[in-house]
A and B are shown apart, each in its own frame.
Chain A
Amino acid sequence: MSKKIDSVVTHMILIAVCLVFVFPILWLVLASFSKSGSIYDIDGFFPSEFSFNSYHKLFVDTAMYDYPNWLQNTLYVAFFSSLIGTVLVILTAYTISRFTFKSRKMLMKSTLVLSMFPSFMGMTAVYLMMVNFGLINQLWSLILIYAAGAPMGYLVQKGYFDTISNTIYEAARIDGASNFTIFVKVTLPLAKPMLVYTALTQFAWPWSDFILPNLLLKNKDLWTVAVGLTHLGETEFTRFAAGAVFIAVPIVALYFALSRFLVVGVSQGAVKE
């Protein structure tokens, strides 16, 4: 009997918790299908009339808020940052995991010290430097910053490479393969899941980052989605909701596709940090 009560109570708490998590999202999704545009016209959490109006406006009424353009900028930045960033992270992680060389320990220690500086400190400086060199308002400067910062988070990938046995490399070495050949022909195929994971996380970061683009992109046609959406006030609420849902769906889908890696990634990164 007490077991039954326990089970009922547990499930009730679970339902409550899940409601807390799902409700704000549901509210946002419903609002994006609301017929009226302002938050004041929605009765509480539930819109009175539904339509695709907000989505239509999002892509057609671009005079004030050019969402398609924001989307294009975001895609451009996220794609190239992911491409370059992944190459750099994988190279760093593989090299540090596989080779023992003199400055290895020092490199690892310095990345640790560097990561202790508040991220803003670097950003303010990057901002000042970009202003002084006239590199502000450039999408590619954003790409460079994202990609160049990527190797700092090499620990998860290094953890993965640490698990690949050394005997495979030694066998290839005996067969006369150069280090470069080994990297391309042996390591990369073995690291495919990690490659995918890295590319996707490197993509997701610029895709949903707000701070850096807000700092460096002052020009309205260069805004990314994150920057653009923060400029939408209460009267444009459903447009915000539609824009938010549209950009969140691919990321959410991505996370679910990756949920297999997620637990591993979270715990690995946690233990190694």
Chain B
Amino acid sequence: MKREKPSKIVIASCCIMGAGQLLSKQWIKGLLYLFIFAAYVTYMVTSGMNDIKGFFTLGTVRGDAWLGIQGDDSIMMMLRGIFAFLLTAMFVALHISNVKDAKGLAKRLEVGKELPGFLQATQIFLDKKFYIVALLLPVIGVLIFNVLPIIFMILISFTNYGGDIVPPELVDWIGLGNFEKILSLTEIKDTFFRILSWNFVWAFLATAVNYFGGLGLALLLNKKCVKHKGFWRMFPILAYAVPGFITMLAFKFMFSYGGPINYYITMSGHSAIGFLDIDAGWTARIIGIAVNAWITIPTSMLLATGILSNMNTDLYEAASIDGASKWKQFIKITLPFVVFSTTPVLITNFIGNFNNFGVFYFLRGGLYNDGYFLASDTDLLINWLYNLSIDNNYYGIGAAISLIIFIITSVFSLLVYVRSDAYKKEDTYR
């Protein structure tokens, strides 16, 4: 039986996917590669090229129902363009694997080894490269539902999509236009900086309240005189277990005009207070912080309990022998230890609070204050983002704000990342 020269196989596979495999009589594998190659080429010729072109122009024909002109749908064109790029990337990856495979075949032929049959090869692949098989579905899922949307949103932030410019109007690339708008257009700029400063104040206050609240509660439960710790711990856990949206809606009812708090206020002869009304200002903000504390203190309590139980108690004995007061022991021993071991969590909590959508959405969602562009004085950036992009279709500006949030969060996350022992030591026990 005459065999082709090994080097020829590699070259053939480089030119046409699967050709080398066919030359070395790997029929099924070769045909599969060839089939994918043909499918990709057909796709590119029939629509792929146009889709990629459309990605850059975002449409040239404006639709007009009156004149019966079928216009270009810019957003669809962008999505199809992204799709074409992704397919191309996948094709390139597959092509590389095909060349590698051909190289492997060539090597085997050179030393005169028998080539494995298709079934056998598949079996070997499934076992040796189990991680590829196992991760295939999760990775595809994350790519489609997490990565693709993020890429799409990043691209949207560089277009003028939204407001009046939705199909059939044509969307255009405007570079950094949205970011310029946020930082210079008076109405939006004022709103942005007001919300940003409140957002930081909120994140600091909420994190501090939750952290020290949880720590305090854990210390209280850790006291020697407290018996039946499990019983006391049950109550915060109960609060923790109730779904967040129920808690937040219930608190909204509690502070509403007909709610129990206003009932007692009116009973005592005063007029009802609009705790969460449009002009409530700091009242609503403080209620927000309290509600958030109610929801998150149980989690930080659980965390602090876990950390306190890992603590070395010898230190306290030594300290009391030296005559240190309880307060001094707390400041000098407990606090440094707890703060040290929870720094990453503290920053994660800070980020979580910075992007806390639920509290103010449920308590006061949909209110727009004067002096704010489509937002209220309790709204955080993430709420504003929702108002802009979901309720009012300002997609471009909304996407730009998401990117700004991303930058802020990633700076803080980087702090965690650099400091976290868990990451640094990730490889030590491997």
Contacts and interface: CB of A to CB of B under 8 A. Distances in A.
A185 B362 CA distance: 47
A14 B221 CA distance: 8
Interface stretch (B19-27, B300-308, B368-376): B300-308
B106 interface: no
A119 B138 contact: no
Contacts of B253: 39, 234, 237, 240
A52 interface: no
B152 A129 contact: yes
A14 B226 CA distance: 9
B239 interface: yes
B343 to A, nearest CB: 11
A50 interface: no
Given A28-B250, A44-B267, A132 B153 contact: no
Contacts of A162: 429
B334 interface: no
Interface size class of A (residues with CB under 8 A): 35 or more
B87 interface: no
Given A91-B135, A151-B142, A234-B258, A124 B238 contact: no
A122 interface: yes
B402 interface: yes
B353 to A, nearest CB: 13
A219 B8 CA distance: 60
Contacts of A119: 355
Contact of B299 (A91, A207, A226, A266): A266
A18 to B, nearest CB: 4
B241 interface: yes
A149 B149 CA distance: 12
Interface in B39-73: 73
A11 interface: yes
Interface of A: 3, 6-7, 10-11, 13-14, 17-18, 20-22, 24-25, 27-28, 38-40, 42-45, 88-89, 91-92, 94-96, 99-101, 107, 111-129, 132, 144-145, 147-149, 151-152, 162, 178-180, 183, 207-208, 210-211, 215, 226, 229-230, 234, 237, 240-241, 244, 247-248, 251-252, 254-256, 259, 262-264, 266-267, 270-273
Given A99-B130, A273-B344, 17 more contacts: A18-B235, A21-B238, A25-B242, A28-B250, A38-B258, A39-B253, A92-B134, A95-B131, A118-B406, A125-B150, A129-B79, A129-B149, A178-B127, A210-B245, A244-B246, A267-B303, A273-B420
